[in-house]
Amino acid sequence: MIKQRTIKKSVKARGIGIHSGNMVNMTLIPAKIDHGVVFRRMDVGGKLIRAHNAFVNEVVLSTSLENKGVKVSTVEHLMSAFAALGIDNILVELDSFEVPIMDGSSAPFIFLSQSAGIEEQDAPKNFFVIRKPVKIQHKDSWAKVSPYEGFKVTLEIDFEHKKVKESGQKLSIDFAQQSYLKEISRARTFGYMRDVETLQRRNLALGASMDNAIALSDSDVLNEDGMRYQNEFVKHKILDIVGDLYLLGNNLIGHYEGYKTGHLLNDQLLSAILDQPDTWSLETFEEKDSPIKFYSEDWQNSL
Ligand SMILES: [Zn+2]
């Protein structure tokens, strides 16, 4: 059977919070079978917040979770790394309300988890299998999931910028054929320099810099080292989607398609799926008959 996963030992990281600008200490701790991904705010008495759509509270600039007034924000890149490595059970301790932004991608979280080591646990892993299509629309943007033998993301963005247009705004990744670790994990978040200045006047994005984002001028990329992938922009949006989808609580088997989607639309899509129990089921699989060629290379290599 395909088994649940955690990490082998605790590991620590330290980095800046993109909105607060504060240094944040984070510890990843192994967790038992059926624990799920749970955050623990050490600065407010160890309050726990489950990484699940039911606790999503804010989706404007990043995805934030809240439980009884205690919040954890910018969870999507960390969640994306856990989804990619198939980590079901883990405790994430933080001493602030934000996950550190690191370099703006999920690669540092992949590295951190892999340096702790991935461990299989003696219990079958549940997959979130899409049985019927679910679609939501907001003005001209839309997001959809449909049944698929594996895990695939197809996304088109429409970002008015010369460099983004040149690099390609549409991409489809089937994770059985393409490695998340190689093709997606290093893609960084991006934005206009002028927007960062506006946000900082509102006390937001205080930790944002060219160390953790691609900064755009009106017509160019300002980072000295340029881009990590030719189509890094759309790849980062796919990284975000993989993280947002993991708030279903289990690895998805299905095809996500989107046009101009963001954290808000992803949150609404997840709520719509969870509200219609006939559109999905939780399933376990034997290795041999799994549609889980899904992430195969990354999953095998990380054990
Ligand atoms: Zn992002």
Report the catalytic residues.
Answer: 263
Are 133 and 282 within one domain?
Answer: yes
77: CA distance to ligand 1 center in Å?
A: 6
Is residue 34 located within the same domain as residue 182? no
Identify whether residues 33 and 131 lie together within a single domain.
Answer: no
On whether both 142 and 282 belong to a single domain, the answer is yes
Q: How far apart are CA 44 and CA 42, in angstroms?
A: 5
For residue 57, count CB atoms less than 10 angstroms from its CB and return exposed for 0-12, middle for 13-18, buried for 19 or more. Answer: middle
CB 121 within 8 A of CB 209: no
Check whether residue 84 and residue 160 sit in a common domain: no
Cα separation, 229 vs 4, whole angstroms: 32
Tokens of 143: 């997001």
Rounded to the nearest angstrom, the distance between the alpha carbon of 239 and the centre of ligand 1 is 7
CATH number of the domain that 219 lies in?
Answer: 3.30.1700.10
The single-letter DSSP state of residue 221 is B
Measured CA to CA, the distance from residue 82 to residue 125 in angstroms comes to: 14
DSSP state of 291: S
Cα of 37 vs centre of ligand 1, distance in Å, is: 19
Q: Which of 32, 73, 24 is nearest to 51 (CA)?
A: 73
| Continuous H helices in 63-157 | 76-85, 107-116
The last residue of a domain, from among 87, 109, 124: 124
142 and 83 together in one domain: no
Cα separation, 179 vs 31, whole angstroms: 26
Distance 79 CA to ligand 1 centre (A): 11
Read off the tokens for 263: 């954290």
CATH number at residue 71: 3.30.230.20
63, 108: one domain:
yes
Spatial separation of the C-alpha atoms in residues 104 and 2, rounded to whole Å: 31
Same domain flag for 68 and 177: no
Task: Tell me the pTM.
Answer: 0.96
| Terminal alpha carbon distance of the chain | 15
Q: Which amino acid is at 94?
A: L
Going from the Cα of 237 to the center of ligand 1, the distance in angstroms, rounded, reads 6
Residue 299 neighbours by CB under 8 Å, 6+ apart: 85, 86, 292
**Residue 143 belongs to what domain range?**
127-301
Q: Do 175 and 281 lie in a common domain? A: yes
- Determine which helix (DSSP H) or strand (DSSP E) holds 72, and give its type and residue range: strand 70-72
Distance 59 CA to ligand 1 centre (A): 12
Per-residue pLDDT of the chain (303 residues; tens, 9 = 90+): 899 999 999 999 999 999 889 999 999 999 999 999 999 999 999 999 999 999 998 777 788 999 999 999 999 999 999 999 999 999 999 999 999 999 999 999 999 999 999 999 999 999 999 999 999 999 999 999 999 999 999 999 998 899 988 988 999 999 988 999 999 999 999 999 999 889 899 888 899 999 999 999 999 999 999 999 999 999 999 999 999 999 999 999 999 999 999 889 999 999 999 999 999 999 998 877 666 565 667 877 777
Max Cα-Cα span within the chain: 55
